[in-house]
Structure 1
Amino acid sequence: DFPDPNNFALGKLYSTRFYNLLKTALRPDSALAIQSTSPLYARNSYWCIVKTLESTGFKVKPYQTTVPSFGIWGYVLAKQSDFEKPANIPKDLKLKFLDSDSMVSMFDLPADTSMPEEEIEINRLDNQALVRYYESEWRRFE
């Protein structure tokens, strides 16, 4: 759970360089979930993270859920090999809020949070595209 990429130091945590380093530390069958800001309020930022992960060879499944203190919040599930979206929760897991139907629906992003039509840049150390997107999109709410 990284902090939001609101400056260049934090933007490095969402860069191609970092994701390539991360791949070397993960076992081939590992999965990771990346906090990816709001796909509703910071749509370009969200999809920049998705595309950056993809550009480093990760297979991704974008998803979103409602977090009471933040609203609609996005994440990316990623692995180094192809995988299916999670379809159910093991019956022996007793969870308070999450059930199989809710989990499946998290991966069905509505039109207002889907990939924008304009080209989204990949976040690299030499361009910090994500920080630029983030500052532009969240500035509206200051």
Structure 2
Amino acid sequence: MSNSLFIEQQNDYIAFYINGELQFHSQDEAIYHEYLVIPAIKLAISRFPDTDLRVLICGGGDGLAARDILRFSEVKQIDLVDYDPEVLELAKTVFKPYNHGSLEQEKVTIYTEEAFGFISQLPENHYHIVISDFTYPNTAEETAIYSREWFQEINRVLIPAGLTCINAVSPNYNTEAFWCLYQTLISAGLFTKPLQLNIPSFSDHDYGKWGFLLASSEVIQREEIEKISLPDNLQYLTYEKIIQAFIFDEEIAKNRQQFMVNTIENKQLFYYLLNGIDNSELESNLEAKEIINFLDINEETSTEIGNSNALDLDTVAKFWLENIYTQADTEKPPNRH
């Protein structure tokens, strides 16, 4: 099914939508992309000194993640796989002033195909960093690129101790779905650190705080994060903001281990997205609340996590049909990126 693409011009800014959902606003997209890319790249540089780094970007056809990766001379190869040729064409034309022509750089090789098929054909231990910059899933089938099988493939193609960062969902508006993804990464053998941040354009669209998941087959230590040195000329990210991003309200994070993992067979993520808990009322100042700092937590990976059967799609559909009319006036629309 083809996507509906729309670009809105707003004075000196543009906003890009896929199927009616905001992908980025040029006024603040740097917030999103700096968090998605820079901590993972800097950790990889630290873990693999004097190494020509290889990076895979899955999704990211707008070229904005590639732009920020190209800041680093240590990165010698960037492969980008995106199935939508229209987005890739926009990256080379309309988006070029924002991505600085990233997809035309010699280091970057573009593959126009489905990411799952692409990654499954790659050799083991091939990349130092994998960035997943996918849009928010609209259907049960689209959750395959958020499944345990997908994250197992990422783990397989990563060089041991390599890093991956995943665009997730809102931890306060889609709490169950966020921790489902967290547990799914852990179940794929990846030590995982969750992050959250505010992106004004996302908040304006009622998407809530946004979440990322930083992971590796090797434990990510607090000391590694604390030693991160940032490149010059960043628009938003600072050392203090990186450290703050790992802190969550205890009410949001305390039940994280109860949620089931998402697999290709049992599409639990889709169920949580349809029927999830909205904790947006917990957005107030973290200093006044009990918190969990994930820099101090290293939860064990396990391939046994969440192996019981998830609710099947018939149950999901039944629940949704029974509740859609009564909840229509009170529920926020599902957030997207």
In structure 2, C-alpha distance between the alignment counterparts of 1:66 and 1:88, rounded to whole Å: 23
Moved more, 117-126 or 103-112: 117-126
Q: How does 1:1-142 map to 2 (within 5 A)?
A: 1-71=133-203, 72-85=209-222, 86-90=225-229, 92-116=231-255, 119-137=258-276, 140-142=331-333
Tell me by how many angstroms 1:68 deviates: 1.7
Structure 1 SS opposite 2:236 = coil
Assess if the C-alpha contact under 8 Å between 2:179 and 2:257 holds in 1: no
Unaligned runs of 5+ in 1: none
In structure 1, C-alpha distance between the alignment counterparts of 2:257 and 2:229, rounded to whole Å: 39
In structure 2, C-alpha distance between the alignment counterparts of 1:6 and 1:113, rounded to whole Å: 24
C-alpha root-mean-square deviation of aligned residues, in Å? 2.0
In structure 1, C-alpha distance between the alignment counterparts of 2:254 and 2:136, rounded to whole Å: 20
Identity fraction in percent: 25
Tell me by how many angstroms 1:115 deviates: 3.9
- The amino acid of 1:132's aligned partner reads Y
Assess if the C-alpha contact under 8 Å between 2:155 and 2:189 holds in 1: no
TM-aligned CA distance change 1:102 to 1:125, over 3 Å: same
Assess if the C-alpha contact under 8 Å between 1:3 and 1:10 holds in 2: no
Q: Which protein is richer in strand relative to its size?
A: 2
Provide TM-score, normalisation by structure 1. 0.89
- The amino acid of 2:248's aligned partner reads L
Moved more, 124-133 or 84-93: 84-93
Moved more, 26-35 or 11-20: 26-35
In structure 2, C-alpha distance between the alignment counterparts of 1:129 and 1:39, rounded to whole Å: 16
Q: In the comparison of the two structures, how many residue pairs are matched?
A: 142
Assess if the C-alpha contact under 8 Å between 2:184 and 2:262 holds in 1: yes
Structure 1 SS opposite 2:220 = coil
TM-aligned CA distance change 1:117 to 1:26, over 3 Å: closer
TM-aligned CA distance change 1:35 to 1:84, over 3 Å: same
TM-aligned CA distance change 1:117 to 1:14, over 3 Å: closer
- The amino acid of 1:79's aligned partner reads S
Moved more, 34-43 or 16-25: 16-25
In structure 2, C-alpha distance between the alignment counterparts of 1:6 and 1:123, rounded to whole Å: 15
Whose Rg is larger?
Answer: 2
Tell me by how many angstroms 1:7 deviates: 1.2
Structure 1 SS opposite 2:171 = coil
In structure 2, C-alpha distance between the alignment counterparts of 1:92 and 1:43, rounded to whole Å: 32
In structure 1, C-alpha distance between the alignment counterparts of 2:158 and 2:257, rounded to whole Å: 32
- The amino acid of 1:83's aligned partner reads I
In structure 2, C-alpha distance between the alignment counterparts of 1:92 and 1:3, rounded to whole Å: 27
